[in-house]
Amino acid sequence: MQETTRHISPRQYALLELAGFLGIGIFEFPRALVSTSGNNAWWGFLLSWGVAYVGVWLLLKVAYVDPRETLFGMARRIMPDYVYWGFGVVDTALHILLPIISLGQFGFVIVTFFLPETPIWMVELTLMGIACLVAWWELPALARSTEMLFVPTMMISITLLALLVPHVADAYAMLPSLNVRLMPVAYGGLRTFYIFIGFEVIPILWPYIRRQDQPQARRYTYYAVTGAGIFYAIVMAVTVGVENPWYLRHLEWPGVSALRLIDVQGLIINKLGLLIVVFWGVVSLIFISVRLWAITHVILPMIHRRTIHWYRGMVLGLAVLIFLLVRTVPNIAVIDRLTRFMVPLMVGFVLGYPPLFILAAVTIQSRRRRRRGPAPPARRLSAKQRRERLGFD
């Protein structure tokens, strides 16, 4: 029987990544992209997807600076204190925006389509409470919950998207334009990059993967980007083909609106597509839980606290803070503006810091090596040391 540890398997890690990719985009995509890129939407999407691969590659490089240490453990060693603190504060602030957007999106979807008279805070509080609970027992419990909830939700979602294919009436819009215009493609790619935001958690998650599993996890990271990209490509093809690009721009949640058209006669719940949207709460839930966990793992090293009580206190405190911040959002237009504001900052941060981080790490390592002189000849490790290095602790 597999031992219970604080580690997660590569598959669980990949699912956490994937849930991260879908956390914000699943409701809103592809409205912003089609509005900005027009008939160049496919090229904007491909650009965004390509940049996501580059971002993942960079963040894996960061994780490999010291595969046994979390991002902020590494950062403390290679950065001066004030840079370290600045890095931590910016990272925390940006990451608090993500669950606000995700929670806000879900709350407004539920109140718009399902429970118009239910106070939105009840929806948000429930989701936040469960997200807090899922994160309560640290990463392994969070990862297992993800496996249990996320996989069935996505399988049903893809099945239902297939049921939409007969509704495709505007197939012309599914074809990419051959008249490629650079600016709309670039702008659309940037505007829609929120669909891939979530992978910046890689260097924080990395030490929780067993050393011997890390090469596999590395491959799985790319599989997660590929899986997310394919899912979004299906969503885009189906929603654009069903709703046509002009109508789609008017819809705040094009995917949800498309799924509402599914009407399976003969079933007790004939509006199956609408039902699955409630299950998409799982995606928001996992996304928020991972953010709670990750932000806590940024803050705790900064304040030199590592016990589980501090962890739980921090998770609870963040959950309350995020819930209160979401309560200040009056309508979906504010969430929309917040996303528009957050994406360029996030892209700049996620693609900007890894090269500097890696450069600083390499410089410091080589300086230390010079100071220490030539490396001593490799010595044979004891069995205990080997076990420790492999991560069986």
Q: What are the residues binding another protein (CB under 8 A)? A: 38-39, 112-119, 122, 125-126, 129-130, 132-133, 136, 169-170, 172-173, 177, 179, 243-247, 249-251, 257, 260-261, 263, 265, 271
Report the C-alpha gap between 35 and 257 in whole angstroms: 17
Please, which residue, 66 or 243, has the CB nearer to another protein?
Answer: 243
Q: Which two tokens stand for residue 376?
A: 């001593």
**Least distance from C-beta 129 to another protein, angstroms?**
3
**Least distance from C-beta 173 to another protein, angstroms?**
6
Report the C-alpha gap between 343 and 337 in whole angstroms: 10
Nearest Cα neighbor of 345 from 134, 193, 118, 236 is 193
- Phi, psi torsion values for 277, nearest 5 degrees: -60, -35
Q: Which helix (H) or strand (E) holds 312?
A: helix 308-327
Nearest Cα neighbor of 274 from 253, 288, 250 is 253
**Least distance from C-beta 174 to another protein, angstroms?**
10
Please, which residue, 51 or 316, has the CB nearer to another protein?
Answer: 316
Please, which residue, 66 or 124, has the CB nearer to another protein?
Answer: 124
**Least distance from C-beta 318 to another protein, angstroms?**
15
Interhelix angle for 10-28 vs 214-243, to 10°? 20
Please, which residue, 111 or 143, has the CB nearer to another protein?
Answer: 111
**Least distance from C-beta 264 to another protein, angstroms?**
11
The Cβ-side half-sphere exposure at 29, using a 13 Å CA radius, reads: 30
Residue 209: DSSP 8-state: B
- Beta bridge partner(s), residue 209: 8
Please, which residue, 114 or 341, has the CB nearer to another protein?
Answer: 114
Please, which residue, 59 or 127, has the CB nearer to another protein?
Answer: 127
**Least distance from C-beta 292 to another protein, angstroms?**
13
Please, which residue, 330 or 377, has the CB nearer to another protein?
Answer: 330
Is the bond leading into 30 cis (omega within 30 degrees of zero)? yes
Instruction: Extract long-range pairs of 249-254: CB within 8 Å, 24+ residues apart.
Output: 249/31, 249/34, 249/35, 251/31, 252/28, 252/31, 252/108, 252/112, 252/332, 252/336, 253/27, 253/28, 253/31, 253/109, 253/112, 254/28, 254/29, 254/30, 254/31
**Least distance from C-beta 300 to another protein, angstroms?**
19
**Least distance from C-beta 110 to another protein, angstroms?**
10
Residue 213 near residue 143, CB atoms below 8 Å: no
Please, which residue, 37 or 48, has the CB nearer to another protein?
Answer: 37
